[in-house]
Chain A
Amino acid sequence: MPERDEPMIEPVPAPLAAPEPVVDGGEPAPSFAPSGATEPAAGAPALARVPAAPREVDAAWRRVSPKHVVVEVVGSVIGSGITVAALLVAATWLDFPLLAWAAAAVGAMALVAIALEPRRVRSIGYRLRADDLVFRRGIMFQRQVAVPYGRMQLVDITRGPVSRALGLADLKFVTAAAATAVTLPGLPLEEAERLRDELVALAESRRAGL
C-alpha cells in the first residue's frame, strides 16, 4: 500500500506544552532561567565546537500516521485473542466456569482498549526543536521527554510484519541512559528514513561526550 501520507503537521491541542511560569501566591516565582545559558560563553572560546546551524523549529506537534492504529489493534487482538482462547479451553477442559468469566473480562478489557486505540495513537506526538527532540504520548498516563540531539547514540528503525504491510516503521532513539526509552511508532517508512538521516546528521553536528 504505497499511498503517501501527507506531512502530518497539524495543530494539536498541546496539553503538555510549556505555559508561562505561573506566579502563585504573589511570591516571586522561582526562576528556572538557565543562569549559565544566557551569559555569553566567553569563558571557553578555545573550544572548537561551534554550535551547528540552527535548525528550524517545528511550530506544532507532528503526529504519527493514523494507520498505526491498525498495527496496535492487530497486536492487541492477537494478544488478547490468544489469552481468551487459552482461558476458554482451560475452562471447558477443567470444567471451571470462573475461567470463562475471566476470559470474558479479558475480552471486554481488550475491546475497551481497542476502542480507545485511535485516541492513544493521536496522543503520540513529537517536535523537532532547535537543539532537541521532544516526544510525548499517553492519555491516561502522560509522558513527555526531551532528548538533546547530541545525546543520541543510536537511531534504530524497526518494522514488524503488520507495520511492513502498511508501509510503516518504528524509530527508536538510544541514549546512554536506559530510562530515556523514546520510540516513535508508526512513521511512514520514507518519513522514518528521512528523519533518521536528519537526526543522525544533527547528532553528529552537535556531538557531545557521554
Chain B
Amino acid sequence: MTDTGRRARVRDLADGEWHRLHPASPLLRGGLVFLAVLGFVLANLRERVVEVFLLLFAPVAPEERFEAPAGWNGDWAEDPIGGIVVNGLIGWALAGLAVVIVLVIGGFHLAWRMHTFRVTSEALEVRSGILFRSHRSARLDRVQGINVNRPLFARLFGTAKLDVSVAGQSGNVDLSYLGSAQADRLRADLLRLASGARRAAASDAGPATAPDAAGEAASGTLAARAGQLVGRRVDEFRAPELDPSLAPPESVVRLPLPRVIASALLGGSMIWFAVLVAVIATGVVTGAPWVLFTFVPAAIGLVSYLWSRITKSLRYSIAGTPDGVRIGSGLLSTANQTIPPGRVHAIEATQWLLWRPFGWWTMRINVAGQSLTPTNDGVQRTLVLPVGTADDVRRVVGLFVPDADDVLAVRLASGLTGSGPSAGFTSAPRRAAWIRPFSWRRVGLAVHGGLALLRRGWLVRSAILVPLARMQSVAIAAGPVRRALGLASLRIHTVMGPVTAELPALDRPDADAAFESLAAESVARALRDPGERWGVTADAR
C-alpha cells in the first residue's frame, strides 16, 4: 500500500490509461451511511447487548443464564436479541452479522475495483457497475464546465469530487472521489485537452506534484510521514486551490459578509418567512396547535435555505483564467467551478425591489446541459454572482465577454438602471403601457459587438446579455392585444436555463427589424466563433 499508493498519488491521471478512484471513495460515497446505520442500530440495542454479554461472561449460575432475559415473552419482533439468547443462537447470530459485514465490505471493494476511468485526447470515459456494467463517455470538446466539490467529510479525507458537465440533458460524469491534488491536476489536464492545445506543450507545466513526491520519498520514519500527512491536510484545508499555478491570482469581486447576510435577509424568501412567522404567531395566540405542526417545518426549511445561501456565498471568488472563468465558494464544504470560454449562452443580472436602495444585483447564466428540473446543484451552477454592486456586474460581464469595450459598458449601465431610448436602446412605445403598466419604459433592446442586450422589469429589474454567436433561434409573436396595439414580443431562444431572453413588447416595425438583424448577425457571428476548441484558435490568432 505504501509504495504503490504513493506512486498512484503523483501519477498523471490523464495519460490514456484506466485508473481507479481514491481508495476512500466507497467509504465517502455510501460507507459512512452504512456505518451510521450500524451505529444507530447498535446504540438502540446497546442495553440489551450489554445485558446479554454481562450474562454470558459474568459468573452466574448456569440455570439463570437462560432465564435471565426475562423480558422475553416469545415475541421475536419485540425483542430479537432476547430471542436469540434464549434459543442459544448467539453463535449463529454473530456469524450472520460477520457474513453481512464481509459481504458489504466486499461489495464496496468490488464496486471500487470495477469503477475505473480514463482520459484520452478525445473523451473522458468511465466504466462502473458490478452486475450491470455501464460505460459513459464524455467528449472533451463538448465539456460545458468542470466542478471540483469538496464536501466537509471529503475534505477531512483529503479528497475531492470532480464533476464534468457535458452538453445534453443530465449528461454529467462525476468522479467521486479523487485525491484533492489529483482532482486539481486532472481538471487542468481536462481543460487543456478540451482546449485542443497539444499535450506535449502542456505537460511541462505541471511541476506542482514533483516536489511533493520528492519530499515524500525523503521522509524516513513513520512519525515524520504522519506529521507530513497532517501538515498537508491542514494546508489543503486552508487553501482549497492547491496548485498555485492553477489558482486564480485575484478574485475580481469581493463579497463582504454584512452584504451577504443583509441581502439574504432582504431577499424574496424573507417575505415568506415573515408570513410564516405571522401565521405561527397567530396560531400560538389563538391556541390552534395544528398550525405549529404544519408551518414550523416550513419555517425550518426556509431557515436552512437561507443558511445554505449565506454559507455558499462565503469565501466567494470569481476570476478569469486562460481556461475559463473560475468560481469558488463555500466555507466548510467548498465548490469550485470552471466554465470554459464560449460556453455561456445567456447572462442575466436581476435586482429585486428591496435590493434597489443598496444597488445590489444577482447574476445567473445559461449553460448547456442543464437538467429540466432545477436541482440544488444546477441552481448552484448557474448562479455566478450571489450579490454584488453594479461595478461587480460589469467586472463579471467582462470575464464572460472578453472583448467588452466602453460602449458595452455604457449600454450595460443603461441596461441595469436606465429607461427610455437612451444609450443605443430601442425602447417600447408608450402604447406598451397597456401591457406593462409599470415597466414599459424599461423595456428595450440594444445590439452591440455580437451581443444582444435586453432590458426589462420594474419590480424585478433585469438586464440580459445574449452572445449572438450562440443564439439558437429568434422569434417574434403577437396575440390579438399586441396586434391591436401595433406591438410584438421578441424572444431569443437559447439553451435551457434560468435566463429567458424575452422582451414583452416592442413597436412592430422595430421588432421586425430586430428579427431580421438578429437572425443575420447570429449566423455571421456563429461562423466566426472560435467554437469548442478555444485553445487552437488562441494559438492561431
Contact = CB atoms under 8 A, between A and B. Distances in A.
B464 to A, nearest CB: 14
Interface residues of A, number: 49
B400 to A, nearest CB: 16
Interface in A135-176: 138, 140-148, 150-151, 175-176
A176 B421 CA distance: 33
A182 B475 CA distance: 10
Interface residues of B, number: 59
A147 B515 CA distance: 11
Interface stretch (B19-27, B349-357, B442-450): B442-450
Given A131-B523, A146-B519, A210-B368, A35 B449 contact: yes
A142 B483 contact: yes
A32 B514 contact: yes
A85 B474 CA distance: 42
B521 A36 contact: yes
B493 A180 contact: yes
Interface in A35-93: 35-37, 41, 43-44, 46-47, 49, 51
Contact of A44 (B424, B426, B517, B541): B541
B520 A34 contact: yes
B493 A144 contact: no
Contacts of A210: 142, 167, 345, 368, 470, 495
Interface stretch (A20-28, A108-116, A185-193): A20-28
B133 interface: no
B251 interface: no
Contact of A16 (B429, B446, B470, B512): B512
A150 B480 CA distance: 33
A180 B473 contact: yes
A94 interface: no
A176 B495 contact: yes
A16 B509 CA distance: 9
Contacts of B277: none
Interface stretch (B35-43, B52-60, B102-110, B526-534): B526-534
6 contacts: A18-B513, A32-B517, A143-B475, A143-B476, A148-B522, A177-B496
Query: Which are the 6 A-B pairs with shortest beta-carbon distances?
Result: A34-B521, A37-B524, A177-B472, A46-B540, A177-B493, A32-B517
Given A30-B426, A145-B475, A179-B491, 14 more contacts: A22-B509, A30-B446, A32-B513, A34-B517, A36-B525, A51-B527, A141-B479, A141-B480, A146-B473, A150-B526, A175-B472, A175-B493, A177-B493, A177-B496
